[in-house]
Amino acid sequence: RKEVEQDPGPFNVPEGATVAFNCTYSNSASQSFFWYRQDCRKEPKLLMSVYSSGNEDGRFTAQLNRASQYISLLIRDSKLSDSATYLCAVDNAGNNRKLIWGLGTSLAVNP
């Protein structure tokens, strides 16, 4: 099993739709979880950290499910500008808690 796994997609959704991505991780001792957004040929940018209690930022909601070892990202009322690749990052639970990156989920929001 890979350390961090994401469905590569692509997810094609119409504007206004709600879309959710999951990211599974293999190390139950991981403590830090993040979602990033990456536009084509640009650097990844932090979208949100994922806390145990879940967190929400506008149309974006991130949740952590420790029992099943996955994090999720929910995007409500999708905009054309949400089209991007969404990467999850999970720490490796080692001494340096190095981040392990998923391959990314591609989202295309269509008019």
Beta strand 11-14 with 60-65 is unpaired
CA 87: distance to chain centroid?
A: 5
Among 32, 61, 69, 72, binds other proteins (CB under 8 A): 32
Of the listed pieces 17-25, 38-46, 59-67, 75-83, which binds other proteins according to CB under 8 A? Answer: 38-46
Residue span 83-102 as binding mask against other proteins, x where in contact by CB under 8 A, dash where not: ----x-x-x----xxxx-xx
CA distances from 24 to 11, 36, 71, 96 (A): 18, 15, 6, 21
Question: Which residue ranges make up the site for other proteins (CB under 8 A)?
Answer: 31-32, 34, 41-46, 49, 87, 89, 91, 96-99, 101-104
